[in-house]
Amino acid sequence: MSFLDYFRGKKTGSANVAKERLQIIVAHERGQRDQPDYLPQLQQELLAVIRKYVQISDDMVQVEVDRNGSCSVLELNVTLPER
């Protein structure tokens, strides 16, 4: 903290870094919390099937479940590589 910062009351510590990192990871983990247990395996198996035909990396298949009241929607998002 510089001399002038002391009078400005400016915070230069690492606490805001901690807060930002926590907000991101906590939001991410809360999103996963409500997902069914089988999703990671489903994602792996889908990847294996798609790889028989196209070479794609792990992060190119996204599987999510959206709940709207009484019905759930399984959302599958596959990004194919550019030709």
Alpha carbon distances (Å) from 80 to 9, 39, 45, 54, 62: 51, 20, 17, 8, 12
Q: Binding residue for another protein (CB under 8 A) from 2, 4, 7, 30? A: 30
Give the DSSP letter of residue 5.
Answer: H
Give the DSSP letter of residue 40.
Answer: H
Report in angstroms how near the CB of residue 83 gets to another protein at its nearest. 42
Is 14 a binder of another protein (CB under 8 A)?
A: yes
Alpha carbon distances (Å) from 12 to 7, 19, 23: 13, 13, 19
Report in angstroms how near the CB of residue 68 gets to another protein at its nearest. 19
Q: How many of the chain's residues bind another protein (CB under 8 A)?
A: 17
What residues make contact with another protein under the rule CB under 8 A? 1, 11-16, 18-19, 21-23, 25-26, 29-30, 33
